[in-house]
């Protein structure tokens, strides 16, 4: 960091936090305060409580060096969670890899919606078999498994590397026994029947990919973002194929882009589903929908 402010060696937790916060603000991090805490706590092995109760605690030369290196990556546009290599989602710690989307807080809206349904299914059938299409880090499936001990899940992805990360995440979170990672192009190689199909598919229209922030464009994999010309390709695939894998009384829950609710509703309606519930994210935008097949007769 030659021409920039050096983080003084012999720094304390408090001086380090302040210096890191200042440097993050200079490189326009959205929430410099929060990111500074994440980096300092991770590389010094301390907690928020330590920063408050023991601000004069000295920090090691090694931690300062690691934070310097992390700040260089952050200045080059890498998101803070990519630098850490993991992020928290629904109370779980999930490892990230170059082929996995960084799970977003918005997706917790889908988990909340699916969780209520999973519990309803367990109450009536004593089990819940979940299929997570486009599992990435395993975020949605593993969050549901963590909340519903009777459930088991298959996580599908096109990317082998994403599946390896999802398996690791199942291990880290103690869910190896109840989670299977399967390579498939959506439903093509999926066997068997499920009580609940969940998905956060890629839903950005191809032409809009260039307008995404640099952090997203350069660090989330394109295969996790590109939803085809109108962003809806994969809702069509899922709606068309889900019938063959859904138990009677089963449900499908998907995340959508904030402006895709009616288009996705129409796609599922065309395939014989009715909208049972919808949910909004913390910003009040439509974000998740739950469908069930319309009963005939």
Ligand X SMILES: C[S@@+](CC[C@H](N)C(=O)[O-])C[C@H]1O[C@@H](n2cnc3c(N)ncnc32)[C@H](O)[C@@H]1O
Q: Tokens 């210096």: give the residue.
A: 19
Q: How far is the CB of 101 from ligand X (least distance, A)?
A: 4
Interface with ligand X, residue 172, by CB under 6 A: no
90 is in an annotated binding site: no
Q: Which of 280, 275, 237, 276 is nearest to 258 (CA)?
A: 280
Cβ neighbours, 10 Å, residue 112: 16
Residues 13, 64, 83, 224: which binds ligand X (CB under 6 A)?
224
Interface with ligand X, residue 134, by CB under 6 A: yes
CB 115 within 8 A of CB 144: yes
Q: How far is the CB of 85 from ligand X (least distance, A)?
A: 15
Interface with ligand X, residue 162, by CB under 6 A: yes
Residues 29, 115, 128, 140: which binds ligand X (CB under 6 A)?
140
Q: Which of 277, 280, 275 is nearest to 293 (CA)?
A: 275
33 is in an annotated binding site: no
Q: Which of 158, 139, 28, 26 is nearest to 88 (CA)?
A: 139
Residues 32, 223, 240, 263: which binds ligand X (CB under 6 A)?
223
Footprint on residues 63-122 left by ligand X (CB under 6 A): 101, 103, 107
135 is in an annotated binding site: yes
Pull the structure tokens for residue 232.
């809806």
CB 182 within 8 A of CB 155: yes
Question: How many residues sit close enough to ligand X to count as binding (CB under 6 A)?
Answer: 21
Q: Where are the alpha helices (DSSP H) in 220-296?
A: 233-241, 261-270
What letter would DSSP give residue 295?
P
Residues 24, 130, 143, 156: which binds ligand X (CB under 6 A)?
156
Q: How far is the CB of 139 from ligand X (least distance, A)?
A: 4
Residues 46, 146, 159, 165: which binds ligand X (CB under 6 A)?
159
Stretch of residues binding ligand X (CB under 6 A), selected from 2-10, 20-28, 132-140, 206-214: 132-140
Of 46 and 103, the one with the shorter C-beta distance to ligand X is 103
Residues 186, 194, 268, 273: which binds ligand X (CB under 6 A)?
186
What letter would DSSP give residue 190?
-
Query: Half-sphere exposure of 161 toward its Cβ, with a 13 Å CA cutoff?
Result: 9
Q: How far is the CB of 49 from ligand X (least distance, A)?
A: 30
Pull the structure tokens for residue 95.
């490892």
Of 186 and 268, the one with the shorter C-beta distance to ligand X is 186
259 is in an annotated binding site: no
Interface with ligand X, residue 242, by CB under 6 A: no
Q: Give the C-alpha separation, 228 to 213, whole Å.
A: 19
Q: Where are the alpha helices (DSSP H) in the chain?
A: 13-26, 32-44, 48-53, 61-75, 80-84, 107-125, 139-147, 160-172, 214-219, 233-241, 261-270
Interface with ligand X, residue 256, by CB under 6 A: no
Residues 200, 205, 267, 289: which binds ligand X (CB under 6 A)?
200
**Partners of 254 in the β-ladder:** 199, 289
Binding site, annotated residues for S-adenosyl-L-methionine: 134-138, 157, 186, 200
Which residues form the interface with ligand X (CB under 6 A)?
Answer: 101, 103, 107, 134-137, 139-140, 156-159, 162, 185-186, 200-202, 223-224
């Amino acid at each position: 960091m030659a021409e920039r402010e050096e983080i003084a060696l012999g720094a304390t937790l408090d001086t380090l936090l302040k210096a890191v916060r200042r440097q993050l603000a200079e490189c326009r991090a959205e929430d410099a305060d929060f990111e500074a805490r994440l980096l300092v706590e991770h590389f010094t092995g301390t907690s928020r409580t330590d920063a408050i109760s023991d601000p004069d605690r000295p920090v090691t030369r090694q931690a300062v060096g690691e934070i310097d290196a992390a700040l260089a990556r952050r200045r080059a546009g890498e998101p803070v969670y990519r630098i850490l290599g993991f992020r928290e989602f629904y109370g779980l710690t999930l490892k990230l890899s170059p082929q996995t989307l960084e799970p977003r807080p918005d997706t917790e809206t889908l988990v909340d919606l699916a969780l209520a349904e999973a519990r309803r299914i367990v109450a009536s059938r004593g089990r819940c078999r979940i299929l997570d299409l486009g599992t990435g880090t395993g975020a949605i499936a593993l969050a549901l498994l963590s909340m519903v001990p009777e459930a088991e899940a298959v996580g599908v992805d096109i990317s082998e590397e994403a599946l390896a990360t999802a398996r690791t995440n199942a291990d880290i979170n103690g869910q190896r026994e109840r989670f299977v990672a399967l390579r498939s192009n959506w439903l093509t190689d999926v066997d068997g029947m499920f009580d609940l199909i969940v998905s956060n598919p890629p839903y950005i229209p191809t032409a809009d990919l260039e307008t995404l922030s640099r952090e997203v464009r350069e660090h989330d994999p394109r295969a996790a973002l590109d939803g085809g010309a109108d962003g809806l390709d994969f809702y069509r695939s899922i709606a068309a194929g889900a019938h063959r894998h859904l138990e009677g009384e089963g449900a499908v829950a998907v995340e959508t882009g904030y402006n895709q609710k009616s288009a996705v509703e129409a796609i599922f309606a065309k395939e014989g589903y009715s909208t049972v519930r919808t949910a909004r994210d913390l910003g009040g935008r439509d974000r998740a929908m739950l469908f069930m097949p319309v009963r005939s007769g």
